Amino acid sequence: MTSSSDTAASPLPQQSSNVEWHGMKIDKTLRATSNGQKPCVLWFTGLSGAGKSTIADKLEQKLYQAGKRTYLLDGDNVRHGLNRDLGFSDDDRVENIRRIAEMSRLFVDAGLIVLVSFISPFRAEREMARALMEDGEFIEIYVDTPLTVCEERDPKGLYKKARAGEIKQFTGIDSAYEPPQDPEVVLKADRHGPDELADQIIGFLEERSYMMQWR
Amino acid sequence: MTSSSDTAASPLPQQSSNVEWHGMKIDKTLRATSNGQKPCVLWFTGLSGAGKSTIADKLEQKLYQAGKRTYLLDGDNVRHGLNRDLGFSDDDRVENIRRIAEMSRLFVDAGLIVLVSFISPFRAEREMARALMEDGEFIEIYVDTPLTVCEERDPKGLYKKARAGEIKQFTGIDSAYEPPQDPEVVLKADRHGPDELADQIIGFLEERSYMMQWR
């Protein structure tokens, strides 16, 4: 009988030691086969109001109808739970994205197609997330909606508050958004509706065999 | 079109505000139906060396063979990733279990049967995890192996180190283990093998309709 997987204590108080990677018998490949899909992260990035979550919701509905196993991580279900201890300081934003990336990795390991919907404005943090995954598992989806369109939509009134100085360091106003340089998918969300854009992603996934029976 | 789900910034720098729970169209009930199971957390608690991970591995194999969708969280895949920033101080241990519980909640929301294998020695932290779940979603499994047996097994040599004073605050030696008072399942892992104990859990899950087609 092997040991329990947690260690009761460590001789090095601030470092994870006495921990060995545990060889799980049921692995990602078996789960992927069961689910008839290649697990991956669909990482939606773009300005506030660009349409990320609307498109992600629509896509998830289509994937569900195709019998695929998915999960959606967004600012709301994550910020209310796992990351409720984090605020919006620079350090906390970095930690927020780090945990989301690590969680995505576990969901991919669990055999799911994970939809991640966050502004994630900085290239470095998206590259960090990509680096955690295996080749082909990270699909960066740039929801490319011009700032003027996002600001006109302003669904939560946040741009208005940012312009009035009530919110500081708002992405696109007084904090930078760094567009992806080589995203797997670019969506022109000012020209097409969410349904059509979700189909565009489905096309990508089909073409690259993410949705086929896979082993 | 609704807004993006993340907020770009907050007027309150250290608190999650401007965040609303996002109504996802594909929900836990739909996922549970697809998977033919009632999602839940199987929370294994017990001393180091009690047999938690061995039993969890065996159980996961049986669930996989029954066509169920599972995931296993243990000290190794969590400590190497999401919680790699945490050590073994009291505060870090509390935060370790909090994140595991929050993550479990997301995996349950994703429709999976989640196996969680940690010593988790304190009642308060297990109750915290239970409180995050809906009624019937948290199944506490006490792997009840006497300390003398665990110490005799000592698969990683940790008890020997703890007795020699090389590891401080080791559960069962110089740090308390608080047995569950009313666990859903008690496993006598000094009297039965992992295969038989995994079947005992399967029996519980079948009896309570966790494994049946469920809606």
- The Cα B60–Cα B72 span in angstroms is 8
Contact in structure between A69 and B109 (CB atoms under 8 Å): no
Q: How far is A171 from chain B (nearest CA, A)?
A: 5
pLDDT number for residue A214: 44
Nearest Cβ partner for B2 among A54, A89, A103: A54
B90-109 vs A90-109: helix crossing angle, rounded to 10: 50
Contact in structure between B40 and B23 (CB atoms under 8 Å): no
Q: Which residue of B has its CA nearest to A15?
A: B87
Contact in structure between B169 and A12 (CB atoms under 8 Å): no
pLDDT number for residue A92: 87
Count CB pairs under 8 A between chains A and B.
Answer: 295
Q: pLDDT confidence of A144, banded at 50, 70, 90?
A: very high
Nearest Cβ partner for A13 among B30, B74, B88: B88
Contact in structure between A107 and A71 (CB atoms under 8 Å): yes
Q: Among B1, B6, B72, B159, which would you mutate to test the A interface (most chain A Cβ atoms within 10 Å of its Cβ)?
A: B6
Quote the pTM value.
0.85
Inter-chain CB proximity B8 and A53 less than 8 Å: no
Q: Residues of A with catalytic annotation?
A: 120
pLDDT digits (tens, 9 = 90+) for B40-87: 999 999 999 999 999 999 999 999 989 999 999 997 788 888 998 888
- The Cα A120–Cα A97 span in angstroms is 7
Indicate if B120 belongs to the active site: yes
pLDDT digits (tens, 9 = 90+) for A83-101: 988 888 878 888 999 999 9
Side-chain half-sphere CA neighbours of B40 within 13 A: 26
- The Cα B31–Cα B35 span in angstroms is 6
Cα separations in angstroms, A46 against A50, A52, B167 = 6, 7, 48
pLDDT digits (tens, 9 = 90+) for A32-59: 888 889 999 999 999 999 999 999 999 9
Nearest Cβ partner for B6 among A3, A70, A75: A75
Give chain B's domains with CATH numbers: 28-207 (3.40.50.300)
Instruction: Assess whether pLDDT exceeds 70 at residue B171.
Output: yes
Inter-chain CB proximity B22 and A74 less than 8 Å: yes
* Beta bridge partners of residue B44, listed in sequence order: B117, B141
- The Cα B149–Cα B129 span in angstroms is 28
Contacts of A188 in chain B (CB under 8 A): none
What HEC string does B168-212 produce? CCCECCCECCCCCCCCCEEECCCCCCHHHHHHHHHHHHHHCCCCC
Inter-chain CB proximity B8 and A171 less than 8 Å: yes
In terms of phi and psi (left: phi > 0; alpha: psi -120 to 50; beta: otherwise), the region of A67 is left
pLDDT number for residue A213: 57
Q: Tell me whether residue A65 is exposed, middle or buried, using C-beta atoms within 10 angstroms of its C-beta: 0 to 12, 13 to 18, 19 or more.
A: exposed
Q: What mean pLDDT, rounded, does chain A reach?
A: 86
Question: Higher-confidence residue: A3 or B140?
Answer: B140
Catalytic option among B16, B104, B120, B175: B120
pLDDT number for residue A90: 79
Instruction: Give the rounded distance of the alpha carbon of B214 from its chain centre.
Output: 22
